[in-house]
Chain A
Amino acid sequence: MDRRRVQGPETSVVPLPTQEALAKRAALPAPVQDGKRADGRGPEDIRPIFLRTGLISQASGSAYIELGQTKVACAVYGPRQLKKQQGFSEQGRLYCEFKFATFACKKRRHPIRDPQEKEFSQIIVQALAPSIRLDRLPKSVIDLYVTVIENDGTASCLAAAITAASVALADAGVEMLDLVAATSLGYVHQQLLVDCSAAEEAYQQHTDLILAYMPSLGQVTHLLHRGPVDWPPMAAVGGACCVHVYLLLMMHAQ
């Protein structure tokens, strides 16, 4: 038992929806009708991005991003000296902790990080490490903390987190080669959709791709894809979207 938190009952569940609601859910409309999605976007449009840096005044650098309803906050602390027990490292290290706030998803998350959150942390590190001059920071570590405040599409959360984390690193004045722009794509009913919302992810047989790209250097820093699909068209659209996000970042920087 965790004595450091206020305890509720041992188990609690989300109540099931009523039969009528279930029936309504079974009869979902097609994800794209007349070339428009439920929120009025075209299939290859990303949701509007709101990005702000420096909101977390205590951090060395920070960024807050909204992608539709998806809301993610990132803070960078450091670089600081590596602790003794962490050993010696000729290159700097990047440490990331990714967490969904307990209320961020449809179903309540546990306050302790689960394997998915740990995996996302690793992905963020892998996506950003190629963009940072870690060779300039021996024996040091940069801490990166990411909290998702609202999840409107899990893939979009990860993509938003990578983009925002890259901006937060820049805001902290860390030496970088390029900004990393990330985007998410999904295939729903054989239809390619960019930047899926939670409602679109709920369709069965969901396929998705998360792509992190450094456009100026022409390097893919991360790629995560699942679901059986033909690859080339998806990759092409993904690359184009990353460039689009990147241009938005550049406009923001000016």
Chain B
Amino acid sequence: MTTSVSPYAFTAETFKRVQPEEYYRKILEQDVRPDGRAFDACRTTIVNAGCIGTAEGSAVVRIGDTTVVCGIKAEVAEPTLDQPQQGYFVPNVELGPLCSARFRPGPPGDLAQLVSERLRSLLYVGSSKVVVLEDLCIEPEQAVWVIYADLTCLNYDGNILDACVLALSAALKDTRIPRASLDVDEGIVRADEQATQPLTLRPFIFAATYGIYEGRLLLADPNASEEPLMASQVTVCLMEDGQLAALWKSGGGLCSMEQVQQCIAQARKRYTELASLVSSSSSN
């Protein structure tokens, strides 16, 4: 720093607030991100499963400061007429006013709805589904399990989708539902809480999100201050064998095919990391 600071000079903090884009560009020119990460580095990721006693399955995930809690509750309901042997899987994401000043009290906003819907389509629809719904049947046409997976964000610092997919996977793995049977005489379902069994799950899907900065730089795992500066974001969802389960590109900016290929290649590496985190997360 120069010895005589002009009264009009900004501190770094003021500069960041007034000119976020310029501030960011200046730092990226040094081949580093404001929080000190390399372009392809994700934030420290922690998975802790089985921490909530009142839920059938649970997990807390932290990616950097982003914190998501997933709790799974199982209840019993009548199946639908057209799928008499299938249970229900109901994932919902709650981005409440607790986790960031950008969310207001009230019903879920656009982002929460988007993430809920993506989770549902990712783990529920088509050949990629992780939860085997036929296995949730207690008595065909009479009673099936409903798996409510509720994800509550406790701290929003960007990349909520990756955190939610990870938390949901870890919580599903942790889930044990009681053995239940239909008492035909009484018409009610009784469950033995002593004899529990894990859910039947197909291999997991994990998501990795990349921000594309000014159409040229690929930044892994953008945080809350980086997200609004990205022209577009690419989320790659991979299955165990490296096949694509889903690929989403959001934002108005363009991105080239090479960049998408690059994202997929990086996501494959991230998959192994996340898979080992989840497999070592569980308490049981």
Contact = CB atoms under 8 A, between A and B. Distances in A.
Interface of A: 2, 4-19, 21, 55-59, 69, 71, 73, 75, 77, 97, 99, 101-106, 108, 111, 143, 145-147, 149-152
B186 to A, nearest CB: 9
User: What are the 3 tightest A-B residue pairs by CB atom distance, in nearest-first order?
Assistant: A103-B71, A12-B77, A15-B191
B193 A21 contact: yes
8 contacts: A8-B90, A12-B75, A13-B77, A16-B190, A59-B98, A75-B99, A145-B97, A145-B98
A56 B100 CA distance: 8
Contacts of A75: 98-99
A39 to B, nearest CB: 13
Interface string B52-83: 11110010000001010101110111101000
B52 A58 contact: no
B262 to A, nearest CB: 30
Contacts of A146: 98
A103 B71 CA distance: 5
Contact of B58 (A97, A103, A106, A108): A103
B77 A21 contact: no
Contacts of B211: none
B73 A102 contact: yes
Contacts of B108: 4-5
A6 B91 contact: yes
A108 B75 contact: yes
B221 to A, nearest CB: 16
Contacts of B107: 2, 4-5
Given A4-B108, A14-B76, A18-B190, A58 B100 contact: yes
B105 interface: yes
A9 B55 contact: no
Contacts of A103: 52, 54-55, 58, 71-73, 148, 150
A55 B116 CA distance: 25
Interface stretch (B37-45, B153-161, B197-205, B274-282): B153-161
Interface centre among A2, A12, A75, A105 (most CB of B within 10 A): A12
Q: Is the interface of B mostly helix, strand, loop or mixed?
A: strand
Nearest to B183: A16
B18 interface: no
Nearest to A80: B101
A228 B91 CA distance: 43
Contact of A57 (B72, B76, B155, B192): B155
Contacts of B116: 5-6
Contacts of B80: 9
Given A58-B224, A106-B54, A108-B73, A6 B155 contact: no
Given A9-B78, A13-B75, A4 B98 contact: no
A64 to B, nearest CB: 8
Contacts of B150: 101-103, 111
A75 B52 CA distance: 20
Contacts of A150: 52-54
A4 B91 CA distance: 12
Given A8-B146, A13-B76, A104-B71, A21 B88 contact: no
Interface in B142-199: 146, 148, 150, 152, 154-157, 178, 180, 188-194
Interface centre among B113, B190, B194, B224 (most CB of A within 10 A): B190
